[in-house]
Amino acid sequence: MCYHVLSVFFALAAVPLGCFATLLAPRWDNMRVKHAWEAVPENWESLGIPSASTTINLHLALKPHREKALVTALYEVSSPGHPKYGAHLSKEQVAELVMPHPHTLELVKSWLKYHGVPSSASLTHGGNWLTLTSVSVSKANDLLGASYQLYRHTETKEIIIRTVGYSLPAALHGHVQTVAPTTFFASPRMSWQTPRMRSGGAATEQVEATPGDLVTALLGRADYVTPPFLRWLYNSATYVPAATDRNVLAISGFVQEYPNPVDLTTFMNHFHGTGTGATYTVVQVNSGGYDPNNPGTEANLNVQYASGIAYPTPIVYYSIGYGPEGKNDPYLSWLDYMLNLDEIDIPQTISSSYANYETELPLDHARAVCDLFMQLGARGVSVLIASGDEGVGEGDCMTDGNVRFRPTFPANCPWVTSVGGTSGYPEAAAILSGGGFSEYFKRPDYQHDAVTTFFEILGNQYHALYNAEGRGFPDIAAQAFDIRIIFRNEYKVLEGTSCSTPIVAGIISLLNDYQISQGKHPLGFLNPWLYGIARAGLNDITSGSNPGCNTDGFPAVVGWDPVTGLGSPDFEHLQHLLP
């Protein structure tokens, strides 16, 4: 039997398809706000309305028909001991799990038809995003009850097209998770995590130092961290990669940061005696550029330390742009590209050293992007994300008149492995190490016991400053201070979890290399393994803290903590604990 239209459109999945076809169309003028900022986000200024000829691509994240199907599948293929462990999904299998209900598609297409938008839009981003290409800004305003304008960042001068608020018909709120680009004001440079830098000397002579010398120097704080020390510290010095024809380590690069091949050669000559042939492949995504004559410290850091740990594993550098006039969200563009790769082309390990504060993103947008990382994990990719460089948060951390710690995104996403920072030898927590608890994402099952134990140690300290039910991060850590790179043929010394992340990614890539060389599957989503049997292969960090928000921050303690996670990696021990 058919139900009255006004009582059914919030539960369309329960309506038989034949009945659905007979229903009257919903009121497309019954608009309800989906998300809006109270004011233009900080550091942005309006330049006014774009020209009448301006178009944008709109991406609509549609809610999957089976909401928990992909989460279930991810845990199955990522949990050692499960019968499906390691049976990572294909692109087509993921698309089937995340596809929207046919009623959702029909409803959205009816709405688009009402506004005169062609219904030939394609499903993208793994299978549950509807992409509308070349939509005029005036038409986008009509669709979304929006007011798109050109906005310029006051410091970087980057220009993007955004709206401070948008709406959807009430009938669509249960079917559309988010629309982009709308209210996500990514600060193209200032919001991203950037390594802190100190100058070094000219790189005019080869560095000859044994791991023992480096340990002695580091104890006296007289020298710098380099690949020989790291390979000794993390117990990977004797491993020689054997699956370099099948195993790939990828790096995401944003904000027009490019590596330099000459600096990489110089770096490897100095710090990796057998790595003189090191190189990398650049893939340009969404108008991402590549100018090796204008290198960036972040890009050089990532490529040099990924190579310094994992050589001769092939390195791919994704240069990700914003598209013409900064119209697009770079994370969405990059993840759409990655999820469209076939199994033979998708990398086994990815390192990403960029972040925003969580509250700078609309909640629905953050969750939709996090779900795309989940798709990568289900397809067998290990994703390492920097946890941030401001401890529990910079400044006074006032939010709506209250002090709250400031977690970072996407490190707070439950489906990535977040990397914090350590310093010195023996290792202690790096004071800059980002960490805490998400306000957006619930604590995942795999870390329930570890986080509960931490709270038993912490007690009520800071209880009003964070979400005790949120996803805790980071998951793992590595050296973040006094990291020496080559930049324009000179030594530079960097610090930050931007340094820690490619180091850990290099270790994980070696583990993936070993797995593949033994005829086994890559590790994929790491966290169920890390919080399980792999804990015995990590160096627990029990001293230091991550101050911020005018507090001492969280302490590093025995077991997991929101400063260094479970600890730093020991390659040989982890190798023996591989499933």
Exposure class string for 180-190: b at 16+ Cβ within 10 A, else e: bbbbbbbbbbe
What's the Cα-to-Cα distance from 526 to each of 40, 174, 288, 459, 550, rounded to whole Å? 38, 32, 29, 29, 33
Rounded to whole angstroms, how far apart are CA atoms 528 and 541?
A: 20
In sign, the C-alpha dihedral spanning 550, 551, 553, 555 is positive
336 is in an annotated binding site: no
Structure tokens, 42? 């900080």
Rounded to whole angstroms, how far apart are CA atoms 413 and 411?
A: 6
561 is in an annotated binding site: yes
472 is in an annotated binding site: no
Rounded to whole angstroms, how far apart are CA atoms 33 and 173?
A: 9
457 is in an annotated binding site: no
Which residue has tokens 């609309």? 362
Exposure class string for 48-83: b at 16+ Cβ within 10 A, else e: eebeeebbbbbbbbbbbbeeeebbebbbbbbbeeee
Calculated CA dihedral for residues 480, 484, 486, 492, nearest 10 degrees: 90
Which residue has tokens 């199955």? 76
Residue type, 217: A
Which residue has tokens 């604590």? 443
DSSP assignment letter at 432: T
Determine the 3-state secondary structure of 268 from DSSP.
helix
Point out the annotated binding site for Ca(2+): 540-541, 559, 561
Point out the annotated binding site: 540-541, 559, 561
